[in-house]
Structure 1
Amino acid sequence: MNPSQPASLPAPTTAQAVKELMLQHDTYSQFLGLEVEEVGPGYCRLRFTVRPDMLNGFGALHGGVTFSAADTAFAFACNSHGRQSVGLTVTIDYLEAGRPGDVITVEAREESLKHKIGVYHVRVTNQGGVGLALFKGTAYRTSNEIL
């Protein structure tokens, strides 16, 4: 525990500390209004509300916004162990269209973690639990410590 931190407050976890550091410099996620609700080792859950400026020409949530939100959750999850990780390969399957005003939840879970490679599944759902997208990401874990 940090000596300057009151004994009643828990020391921040590595995942939380990495999240704070990453969010300080992630202006794109701030622009999208992504709210990181929970992080832990190999895990991230975030939310955002679909705004009118996020819609495509048919009035549905733009696929690029969905992809960006999933990629952000993937980034928090794969960097949560404190080693800088970068995406090697990602894929996304769009299942349903998000609509204006939808509250979207994006949840990333680690499926496999090895010395140099991590694999993550990210599920994107609306406020009714309807699946909007499934994202799979493979991350390369560098030897660079984040903190």
Structure 2
Amino acid sequence: MSQPTPAELVARAEAVKNRMLEHDAFSHWLGLAVTDMAPGYCRLQFRVRPEMLNGFGILHGGVAFAAADSAFAFACNSHGRQSVALSVTIDYLEPGRPDDLITVEAREESLRHKVGVYHLRLTNQHGTLLALFKGTAYRSSAEVL
């Protein structure tokens, strides 16, 4: 059997994203818009809405974490094997503000048979780094599609 072409790999990553989003009410509720997909990669954006703010008027850390977790999920499943988080961490560096346009970018750092490692960056519309997220995923043998 021949190896898939780069275009076929990108098409599979897009198909996996579409399949996941069909059943992902939470990502829809957050207003996440995936702007770029490739094998081991995802970039998405969302606008900070009033209901996403904490008691200090800044982006709630749980919202930032949830958006990063979604980008992590899209990136680690993009190869077509069902993957789930083994561990994740996040470091908050600057606050998100009302009406900020947040970009979350997930990049695969290591991919092995059973484990993948991903680094994510959350930035605002000015390029300010808001948070760093690291995720380690377990790769099952089940196919997503």
Deviation at 1:29?
0.4
Matches within 5 A, 1:90-129: 90-129=88-127
Does structure 1 residue 59 correspond to structure 2 residue 37? no
Q: Residue 134 of structure 2 corresponds to which residue in structure 1?
A: 136
State the TM-score, normalizing by the size of structure 1: 0.92
Residue by residue over 1:66-112, the C-alpha shift from the partner in whole angstroms, topping out at 9 and shown as x without a partner, is 00000000000000000000000000000000000100000000000
Tell me which amino acid in the other structure corresponds to 1:85.
S
Q: Structure 2 counterpart of 1:99, which letter? A: R
Identity %: 71
Q: Which AA in structure 2 matches 1:95?
A: L
- The correspondence for 2:31, drawn from 9, 30, 33, is 33
Q: Could you say what secondary structure the match of 2:90 adopts?
A: strand
Bigger radius of gyration, 1 or 2?
1
- The reply on whether 1:72 has 2:70 as its aligned counterpart is yes
Task: Classify the secondary structure of the residue corresponding to 1:31.
Answer: helix
Aligned to 2:3: none
TM-score by length of 2: 0.93
**CA–CA distance in 1 between the matches of 2:34 and 2:101?**
13
Moved >4 Å (runs of 4+)? none
1:14 and 1:118 map into 2 onto residues whose CA distance is: 18
Quick one: distance in 2 between partners of 1:93 and 1:63? 10
Deviation of 1:124 (Å) = 0.2
Deviation, structure 1 residue 47:
0.2
User: What is the identity, as a one-letter code, of the residue corresponding to 1:107?
Assistant: E
Whole-Å Cα distance in 2 between the matches of residues 71 and 119 of structure 1? 13
CA RMSD of aligned residues (A): 1.1
Distance 1:67 1:24 in 2: 21
Paired residue secondary structure (2:56): coil
**Long gaps (5+) in structure 2:** 1-6
